[in-house]
Structure 1
C-alpha cells in the first residue's frame, strides 16, 4: 500500500485536510486559546446594561405552547428559585451568550442543571448514570454546559439552606471533577472513551468519602428497585388505562392527562398513521421488527416536567396482545434555546436533533428512541415511558450527599463532552491547576444572585397579573 503524504491529503470536498495532531499537540494548541480567552475571564457575572427583561423572555418562550397549560408551567416555576431556574433555560442561554467563550465546541446538553441527570436502564437492562434530558441539545461551547451545571449546584445548596461556604466548596469541587475526568479521557483510547459508562452498581469515586459513596449507591439502589416495579406493564397498565369501552383507553385526569381535540392533534382521526409510519422509519431496522409486533391503541396529552409544560407532549398506548402493552412518551421538540446564539441545527427535524444528540452524548439510549413530525408541522421525539428513569430527590440532602451526587453529574458531563468533542483540546485549555475551577465557581456563586433577582421579578409579575400561575399544578 502506498504511503499517503499527509501534507497533500485532501478531504471529500477537495480541500486540503487538516494534518494529524497527537493528543499532546492538540492540548498544546488549545493552551494558546488562553491568550485570547484567559481562564480567569470565565469568573464572575455582571448584569449587562442592555439585558432583556427576564419576564419578557419567559413570555416569548410560551410561543406555540398550549395556552391552557402555561399557568401550570409558571405555577411549577414559582415554587422556589431552584424550580424557577429549572424552567428558565432560555433566560440563561441568553446570558451565557454574552460571557467569554473558548469556542471549543461539543455536543452540548443545553440545559445541564443537576435535575437533568439521573439513572436509567440500558437496552441490556443495566442501570447507568448519565444525562437524561437532552431537549435543548445542540453543538455549542463546552463551558456553557458546565456553567449551567455549576450554577444549579449553588442554587440547589441555597434551596437546601446549606451554608454559603459549603456551596462555594461544593461547586469548585464539581468543576475540578469535570476537569480531572476530562484529563483522564484525554489520555484514553478513542474506543475506550466511547464505551465508557457510569455503572451504578460498580460506581467508585477516588476522591469521594467512601461512606457517602456507599450511602448514595444505597439510595440509588433503593430508587432503582422502586422504579423497576413502577416500570413493569403490570404497574403501568392499570395506572394509565381504563377498559370500560370496546377497547383500552388512557384515563383522562385533566388538566395533566387528557385526550386532545382534532384541532390540537390533526392526526387524531386517522389514528396518527402518517406520524407513526415516519417514526417507524426513524428506528433502526432490527427495532422495527420489534415495533411491528405492536399496534396503536390510544394517545393522550400528558403534562411533564417544568420546562416542557405547555409543549405538545403525550403518552401513546400500543398493544402486542391483551396483556402485552407498550407505553411510548411523545415529546414535542422545539428549536433549542441555544439556537439564537450557537447557530441552527444541522437536522431538518428538531426531534431528529434531540435523538442524534442523545445517541451521541449518552453511553446507552432507549431502544425505541426515534422521531417524527405531526400533521400540524410540529416535530417530536419518542421513547419509552418510565423506562426505570431515576431523578434526584433533594428534600433531605446534606452537603455530603449534594457533593457526591454533583460529582457524578460532572463525571457524566465530562464523559458526554469527551464523546462528542476533543478531550485533549478541552483538557489542554482548562489545564492542571485550579484557575479554571475557581473561575467557574465564582461565576456560579454570582449567577445564583442573578437567578434570585430574576425569580423575584417573576413572582412580582405573577402578583401584578402580568403572568398567570396555577400554584400546585
Structure 2
C-alpha cells in the first residue's frame, strides 16, 4: 500500500486483503527465557539483558509521517468483524488522537516489534492503556482497582506494556489540555512507580506478592493527593458509581418486564435484542447458537460456580456494542433470573480473537482464544469474577467463534479519563503502574526485571522521552486516519 493516496483510487475494501501479499512481521523470542533458581543468577540475567536492550535505547522513536500502511492493520481487523458496526468503530476512534490510540494496539505492537527488547517475558496485558484499568468488586464484596480489559493478553515482553501505558498517559494528557511539563512529570511518576513496585514485589515472598492488591477504600487516602490546596476526587467519584453497578441496576437500565419475563430494551446500535437483529434471517437458529454458547460456557466453570449458575433460568439475549477499539467484535448479553424475577443476572459474552501480540510473539498455547483471555485474566488480575469462563460455537457462516463470558456489571467502574487534570492524571498513572507491576511480578521474572531497571531514573526518563515521540506518531497516524475518512476510503458513522 502506498503512503500517498491517488485521488482516483477506489475505496479500500478489507475483503481484498486476503489477496494481498502477506505481511512479514518481526518475530520476538519470548519463549527461550529460563528463570534461574538462584535469585543472584536471576539478578545477573536482568543486568545482562541491558546489552541486548540498553536502557537509553528505550527513548528512541523516529516519527514517520503519512503512514497509510499501518491503517491497513486496522482494516485487517475490520475484515474479521461485524461489517455493519465498522462505521461505528471508526467514528468512535475518530473523536480524538486518544480515542484513536485506544483502538490501535495492533499498530503499536507492530511498531514495538521493531525496537530493542529485553527478552524477559511476562503475561502481558497487550493493551495496557489507562482506560483499561478501573474498579470492580471482588468475591469478598470489596472494591479493588486493577486491570479490567484482557482481550489482548498473551505472553510477550514486559516493556511493551509499560510503554503502552506511559504513552497513554502522554496522549491522554494532551487530550485534556495538560501542559507538557506536567505531562512529562505524570509519565515519569508512572514509570517510577512501576520500577519501584517491581523491585518491592521481587523481594516479597511469592504468595504474599500474589495476594497483594489495591483495595479501593484503603487506597483513597493514599492516592487522593493534596497539592497546593487541591485534592483529586476522581477515584472516589468512580468508586461511588462502581458500588451501585450490579446486575440489579443493569437490568433496571437495560431491560423491561414483559409479563413474567425480562426482555432487553432496544437502543440500536448499542443494544439490539436478538429478535430485532435484521442481519439474522433465522432467529430460531440464532437463539439456538446463543443457547449452545451458554451451555458450553458452563463446562468451563468450577463445579461450585456451575452449581450457582444452574439456579438461574434464561430470559432473553441481545447484541451489545462495547468499547472503542473492540467495536465490531461480536458481543452478546443474556439476562437470567435466580430466586425470582427480581433476582436478575446479566452475563456478557464477548468474542475472543487472536491477541495482537501473537503474530509477533507466537501463537497462544490454549485451545481457544476464549480460554486464552480467561486464563490470562486469572494470571494477571488480583481477583477475577467468580463467573468468568469461556465458550465456543459454530457461527452461521460455518466458522467456529470463541467467546469469554463474565458478569456485565460486577461493581465495574471506569475512571472519567476525559476530564482529568494534571493531579488526577498523575495519580491514575501511578495506580495503573502499580497494578501492571503486580501483574508482571505474578507472571514473570520480577528479580530479573528489577535488576534490569536498576536503581536510577534512567529508564523512567527514557520512557518519558519515548512517550512524547510516540504520542507525536499517534497524532500523525490519526491525521492520516481522519483524511481517509474524509475521502470516503474508510466508512464512518455520522
Question: Could you tell me the TM-score, scaled by structure 2's length?
Answer: 0.87
Conserved 8 A contact 2:224-2:231: no
Count residues in correspondence.
Answer: 452
Conserved 8 A contact 2:239-2:413: yes
Conserved 8 A contact 2:123-2:443: yes
Q: Distance in 2 between matches of 1:384 and 1:459?
A: 35
Matched residue, 1:391 = 414
> Counterparts of 1:44-443 in structure 2 under 5 Å?
44-47=60-63, 53-203=69-219, 209-210=225-226, 215-216=231-232, 218-233=233-248, 235-244=249-258, 247-258=261-272, 259=274, 260=277, 262=280, 268-270=286-288, 272-320=290-338, 321-376=340-395, 377-443=400-466
Instruction: Out of 321-330 and 218-227, give the one that drifted further.
Output: 218-227
Q: Return the offset for 1:54.
A: 2.4
* Deviations 1:154-200, CA, capped at 9 Å, x for gaps: 10111111111221222112111100110101111101110000111
Q: Return the offset for 1:435.
A: 1.5
Q: Distance in 2 between matches of 1:174 and 1:269?
A: 46
Conserved 8 A contact 1:55-1:461: no
Conserved 8 A contact 1:212-1:404: no
Matched residue, 2:8 = none
Q: Return the offset for 1:440.
A: 1.3
2:475 counterpart of 1:452 = yes
| 2:417 match: secondary structure | coil
Q: Distance in 2 between matches of 1:457 and 1:93?
A: 19
Q: Distance in 2 between matches of 1:316 and 1:54?
A: 36
Q: Distance in 2 between matches of 1:279 and 1:421?
A: 29
Q: Return the offset for 1:49.
A: 10
CA RMSD of aligned residues (A): 2.3
| 1:61 match: secondary structure | helix
In structure 2, the CA distance between the partners of 1:389 and 1:329, relative to structure 1 (3 Å rule), is: same
* Deviations 1:60-111, CA, capped at 9 Å, x for gaps: 1102211111111100111100010001111111111111100110000000
In structure 2, the CA distance between the partners of 1:464 and 1:51, relative to structure 1 (3 Å rule), is: closer
Q: Return the offset for 1:262.
A: 4.3
* Deviations 1:17-58, CA, capped at 9 Å, x for gaps: x79533233112210111222111111202479976122111
Q: Distance in 1 between matches of 2:384 and 2:437?
A: 17
| 1:270 match: secondary structure | helix
Matched residue, 2:22 = none
* Deviations 1:207-249, CA, capped at 9 Å, x for gaps: 9845699944x5433332323224251x322322233367322
Q: Distance in 2 between matches of 1:443 and 1:394?
A: 22
Q: Distance in 2 between matches of 1:302 and 1:195?
A: 34
Q: Return the offset for 1:373.
A: 0.3
Q: Distance in 2 between matches of 1:465 and 1:49?
A: 20
In structure 2, the CA distance between the partners of 1:264 and 1:112, relative to structure 1 (3 Å rule), is: farther
Conserved 8 A contact 2:265-2:271: yes
Q: Return the offset for 1:441.
A: 1.3
